Structures are given as C-alpha cells and as structure tokens.
C-alpha cells in the first residue's frame, strides 16, 4: 500500500511530552550514546496536520557487539498497513549488523518480526521454584550432606566488591559465548560486572568460595533491573517482582570447566533457597538460560514451573537482509 505522506524524522523532547503516553519506547533521538530514535509521521487525513503513528530506536549492544538492539511501535489504529516494516527498514539504515529484539511467543509482535525473517537464537523461560515446599528443604539438605568440607558459602556482603565484579564478568562471558559472543573483558566488566553487582541485593545474594576463589554465584535481583534495556542482552521483558513473596535471580559457575563446578553451583543454590525460605519467600524465579551447563540440570531436579517465556530473536539486517531479499 502506497503511503505518500509517510516520512521519518529524529524524535525530540517535545515528542516525548506530547506522545509519551502513547508509545512505551519513545525517547528523544540520541538519549543514549550511539542510539538513534525515529518518529514515523504522516499527515492526518482529516486536518492535514502532522501526526506521529509510530516510533522506533536502534543502537549498539555494548556487551554483545555482533547484534544491534532495535525496538519499534506502531499505533494500533495504523497496524497491518506496512508502516512497521517501513520503520524497521529505515532504522536498519543506521546499522550493518543483524538486529536483535525479544518477543512473547504467539504475540502480535512475534508474528510481525517473523514475517520479516526473524529467527530465535535463544528461548528463555523463567523457572519458578516453590521455596517453601518440603521437598525443597530436603533437596537443600541433600546438597549440604554431599559437600566436601573445604568449600564455604558466603553472602556477597562478606566478600570484596572487586572480586565479585570480576566473578560476575567471567560468568557472563562464558555463559553467552556459544549463542551471543561478548565484547572484550575490559568492555564487559563495567557493563555487566559492576551493573549486576549494583542491582543485586547483596545481603541475600550468595557465593561459593573454594581456596579463596569465588567458584559459583547466585544473585538475587533488587529493584534496579528494569525493563529499560541495558547493554546486557539478558533483559527478558518480564515484570520484575517487588520485594516480597516472589523473587527473581540467576546463578551459575564462574568457571564452567572447573572440576567442582556442578557441586559448587548446587551448594550456592542451596544457600540461596535456604536464605529465602527463612525470609518467608514463597517462590523464586530463575532468570537462567537453557544452555547453562550446571544451573539448568540442577534446576531440573527441583519442582519448578516454566513461566513468562520469551524468545530472543535476530532480525535480518545488513548482509542477512540482502540475502533475505534475493529474488
């Protein structure tokens, strides 16, 4: 469908003031270094005045430089007319990288991005564990009875910040290596290590220490991790629970290949669950990946439910867009 009046322009603070209630992703152009934000505008058929019917933004993923982040929204009254496709392709002109986003399976957003060739590169459900179940307590006791006696658990408040930031950085890098390779450690450390440390509840996040080295981490998210996308790609788009009966976090080994990695992750998980149990927490949502070699099989031994699944998807752009459009 031809839309002669369709045009794109950088968004402004005035757009946010006027239309911020209409579009979740609306930000002024350049609100973050390296990011562009565009408005899709047409002339109102009735008045001839300019009317914003869609917004979008694109920018680099500092932690994962192989893909750029993209988001867009079209006013519900103007969907299924080609405007979303036009806006996404206009945004793609600002990057030669493939683009990444996240979708709820079966949603309208999912169908739209699939129509443009989007493919899933990771499925990420939250795994909800019943903290207060008697079997959870017995599971933790079994883990404790199997420990070797030369390892200890500690809340993050008992450990140096720098050591925890280094461990978080190392954990993140190997966790993503197979499906979303990261930037260099120097780039990753402030983006992931420091950020995750600052956004975790230190007194209720746990570490396993063996011979003075942190070998496993379980971080309980505080109120800092929000829907606003960070440079860390694992923002999954689910609502973060407030402090209370349902909590959210993640865990894994610092070195996946360490001989005691599985046992240490189990011990770290047990420490977290026992702590939450003492606090009266009802359930814990684990924001882990199915590809995690230690956390995933350990969580599978607990009674858990998959909730709020999202797919991380790659949308063709640059070379992949050229190849997609070969006649």
Those residues with Cβ within 8 angstroms of residue 52's Cβ, 6 or more apart along the chain or in another chain: 15, 19, 22, 23, 39, 40, 41, 75
Q: Which of 49, 55, 64 is nearest to 86 (CA)?
A: 55
pLDDT (0 to 100) of residue 244: 56
Size of the chain, expressed as the number of residues it contains: 327
Tokens of 204: 């209720």
Angstrom distance (rounded) from CA 154 to CA 295: 19
Q: Which pair of tokens denotes residue 309?
A: 């699944």
What pLDDT score was predicted for residue 48? 78
What is the full per-residue pLDDT of the chain (327 aa) written as tens digits? 445 588 999 999 999 999 999 999 899 999 999 999 999 999 887 787 899 999 999 999 999 999 999 999 999 999 999 999 999 999 999 999 999 999 999 999 999 999 999 999 999 999 999 999 999 999 999 999 988 778 999 999 999 999 999 999 999 999 999 999 999 999 999 999 999 999 999 999 999 999 999 999 999 997 544 333 443 433 333 344 444 588 999 999 999 999 999 999 999 999 999 999 999 999 999 999 999 999 999 999 999 999 989 999 999 999 999 999 999
* Residue 222 pLDDT: 74
Helix (H, G, I), strand (E, B) or coil at 94: coil
Alpha carbon distance 237, 142 (integer Å):
34
| Long-range own/partner contacts, residues 108-112 (CB < 8 A, 24 or more apart) | 108/79, 110/311, 112/84
Q: What is the pLDDT of residue 4?
A: 53
- SS3 for 316? coil
* Residue 286: strand pairing partners: 127, 249
pLDDT of residue 229: 42
Cα 128 from chain centroid? 17
3-state secondary structure of 271: helix
3-state secondary structure at position 279:
helix
At residue 248, the pLDDT reads: 94
Judged by DSSP in three states, 71 sits in: strand
Structural domains in the chain, CATH included, are 7-97 (3.40.630.30), 124-312 (3.40.630.30)
Residue-level pLDDT at 226:
38
């Amino acid at each position: 469908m031809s839309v002669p009046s369709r045009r794109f322009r950088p968004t402004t603070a005035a757009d946010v003031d006027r239309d911020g209630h209409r579009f979740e992703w609306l930000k002024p152009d350049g609100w973050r270094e390296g990011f562009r934000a565009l408005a899709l505008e047409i002339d109102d058929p009735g008045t001839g005045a300019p009317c914003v019917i869609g917004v979008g933004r694109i920018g680099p993923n500092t932690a994962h430089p192989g893909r750029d982040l993209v988001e867009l929204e079209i006013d519900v009254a103007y969907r299924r007319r080609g405007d979303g496709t036009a806006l996404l392709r206009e945004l793609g002109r600002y990057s030669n990288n493939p683009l990444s986003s996240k979708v709820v399976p079966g949603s309208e957003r999912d169908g739209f991005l699939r129509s443009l060739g989007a493919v899933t590169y990771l499925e990420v459900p939250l795994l909800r564990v019943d903290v207060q179940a008697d079997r959870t307590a017995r599971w933790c006791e079994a883990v404790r009875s199997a420990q070797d006696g030369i390892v200890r658990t500690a809340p993050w408040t008992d450990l140096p910040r720098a050591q925890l930031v280094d461990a978080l950085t190392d954990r993140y890098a190997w966790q993503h290596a197979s499906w979303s390779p990261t930037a260099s450690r120097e780039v990753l450390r402030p983006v992931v290590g420091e950020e995750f440390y600052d956004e975790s509840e230190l007194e209720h996040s746990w570490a396993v220490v063996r011979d003075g080295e942190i070998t496993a981490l379980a971080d309980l998210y505080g109120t800092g991790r929000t829907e606003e996308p960070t440079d860390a790609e694992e923002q999954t788009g689910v609502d973060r629970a407030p402090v209370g009966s349902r909590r959210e976090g993640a865990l894994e080994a610092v070195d996946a290949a360490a001989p005691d990695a599985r046992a240490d992750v189990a011990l770290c998980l047990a420490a977290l669950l026992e702590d939450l149990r003492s606090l009266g927490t009802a359930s814990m949502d684990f924001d882990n990946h199915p590809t995690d070699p230690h956390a995933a099989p350990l969580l599978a031994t607990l009674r858990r439910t998959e909730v709020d699944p999202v797919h991380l998807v790659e949308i063709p752009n640059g070379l992949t867009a050229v190849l997609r459009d070969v006649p």
